[in-house]
Amino acid sequence: MRPASIVLAITLAMPGAGPREATAASRILMTTCPAPSMHEVARSVRVYLPPSYDLPAAASRRYPVVYLLHGWPGGDGNWPGHGRVADTMDSLSARGAIPEMIAVMPNGNGIGLFGRQSWLNSYDGRANLMDFVWKDLVEWTDRHYRTIPDSTHRAIIGLSEGADGAINIAFHHPEVFNACGGLSGEYVLRNKTGMKAVWGLDSTARRIREQNSPCLYAPTIVGALKRMVIYFDCGAQDDAAELNHRFDRELTSLGVPHAYEEFPGTHGWGFWKDHLREALLACTVRMK
């Protein structure tokens, strides 16, 4: 059964068409997903459904899925609002650049300062946000929507701390996500304000950061990485640019195929809104 949802988009009509000739439009639902990995009954999530999803002719059609992670501070409304995700996905799919697909945008707030958790499991197991994404959220999505439930048809993309999270989750779980993308991420985790509750103190904190820094542990999983689609980009004026250069150099030295792009810009929604399209184009290349 489909969960109770609030429809945020409405069906649009073609110019000159009467009410009975209205064509399909994408829509974004505001709903909730069970979150046992976070020891919560449920957490909020937005779901983008592509234009054909509700058409009678598509009743048996199944769709690829992209999971979109927000940054900090942020929430599940960021991608639909500031990121204009529906506009970008509608435009790309309408011209055949990407397949029509479902986008799932979860709430990634956790137990750190002002909800900061960087899409990580906590060191003590009381708030496993990474597990919520790759397990709870993916299973829920496959149960409630007409997905193609395999790794080839799943991608995960994030911005800022969501970029760290997306690539880290995919690297840990290539059996779930075959493609990953990051916008303005930092792939070597540094000490951050308000994260003590997430990664603990001293040696425990260092261990958690190292185990979740894709640039550091990539040499241990080269075989899996060579089978994945990996894309990341950054603004040339972003403070994170050097860490992106380092990640690019590391993957290149390991012989791991990937794409790194650098564009003019800084760390903000003007950059992320404009360059989501490159991440989608890269991450859906095997889904067509």
CATH of the domain at 183: 3.40.50.1820
Domain-embedded: residue 31: no
pLDDT at position 210: 97
Domain count, the chain: 1
Average pLDDT, the chain: 93
Binned at pLDDT 50, 70 and 90, residue 54 comes out as: very high
Dist. CA 157–CA 139, nearest whole Å = 18
User: Above 80 in pLDDT, residue 21?
Assistant: no
Packing angle, helices 269-283 and 85-94, rounded to 10 = 40
63 lies in which domain range?
A: 44-283
pLDDT digits (tens, 9 = 90+) for 246-269: 999 999 999 999 999 999 999 999
In a domain, 188, yes or no: yes
pTM over 0.85: yes
Q: Span 6-11, mean pLDDT?
A: 38
| Res 224 pLDDT > 70 | yes
Mean pLDDT for 159-184 is 98
Cα 104 to Cα 122: distance, rounded to the nearest angstrom:
23
Alpha carbons within 13 angstroms on the beta-carbon side of residue 214 total 33
Q: Is residue 204 part of a domain?
A: yes
- Asked if 272 contacts 159 with a C-beta cutoff of 8 angstroms, the reply is yes
Residue 1: per-residue pLDDT: 38
Average pLDDT of the residues in 158-178: 98
Residue 209 lies in a domain: yes
- Give domain status of residue 20, yes or no: no
Q: Is residue 143 within a helix (H) or strand (E), and if so which, with residue range? A: helix 138-144
The number of beta carbons lying within 10 Å of the beta carbon of residue 52 is 14
Q: Please check whether residue 8 lies inside any domain of the structure.
A: no
Flag whether pLDDT at 9 surpasses 70.
Answer: no
The residue type found at 204 is T
In a domain, 32, yes or no: no
Percent residues over pLDDT 70 in the chain: 92
pLDDT of residue 24: 86
What tens digit of pLDDT does each residue of 76-99 get?
999 999 999 999 999 999 999 999
Exposed/middle/buried for 131, CB within 10 Å: 0-12, 13-18, 19+? buried
Mean pLDDT (whole number) for 39-65? 98
When pLDDT is averaged across residues 34-47 and rounded to a whole number, the result is 98
The per-residue pLDDT for range 107-144, each reduced to its tens digit, is 999 999 999 999 999 999 999 999 999 999 999 999 99
Residue 18 pLDDT exceeds 60: no
Assess if residue 26 is contained within a domain: no
The residue with tokens 């899925």 is 65
pLDDT category at 2 given cuts 50, 70, 90 is: very low
Please give the DSSP secondary-structure letter assigned to residue 184: S
